[in-house]
Amino acid sequence: MGTVVVANAQIMCSFGSSPAALSVVPSGPKANNAGGQAIATIMDFKPQVNIAPFGMCTSIANPQVASATAAAQGVLTPQPCIPATMAPWTPGAPTTLVGGNPALTDSSKCVCMWLGQISIVSPGQQTTSTG
């Protein structure tokens, strides 16, 4: 059982310098809470659509960071984050479906191509959970 994640939840990448807000298309069901935000699903993983940049990236697997670090003679040189997620969040809530997709919960994770692990910092609401 977990807390359902909604639009504008705070997410963070393990290689990012700052959190970002999760964007969710508001066409789906709304959470039963004061804000009535759209419920996120595991399919809300698209870079620049659902997942915004996390400030500066420090992953040496990111070619921009690797290049800047090499130019600085091996001194880690962060570069602007450009999320590169390619697969849905895991795990979702198997018994809570939104538009046929599992709802996103506060324990779900998403992986960036540059090896960062994106996690939920704050689900955006506290009253709706999976069951």
Q: What is the 3-state secondary structure (H, E, C) of 65-80?
A: HHHHHHHCCCCCCCEE
- Within 13 Å, how many C-alpha atoms sit on residue 41's CB side? 16
Q: Which of 26-40, 71-85, 116-130 has the highest mean pLDDT?
A: 71-85
Percentage with pLDDT > 90 across the chain: 74
pLDDT at site 36: 73
Residue 78: pLDDT band by 50, 70, 90 thresholds?
very high
CA angle 46, 55, 120 (to 5 degrees): 55
pTM equals 0.89
Are the CB atoms for 41 and 34 separated by under 8 Å? no
Assign 34 a pLDDT band (cuts: 50, 70, 90). very low
Half-sphere exposure in the Cβ direction for 84 (13 Å, CA): 14
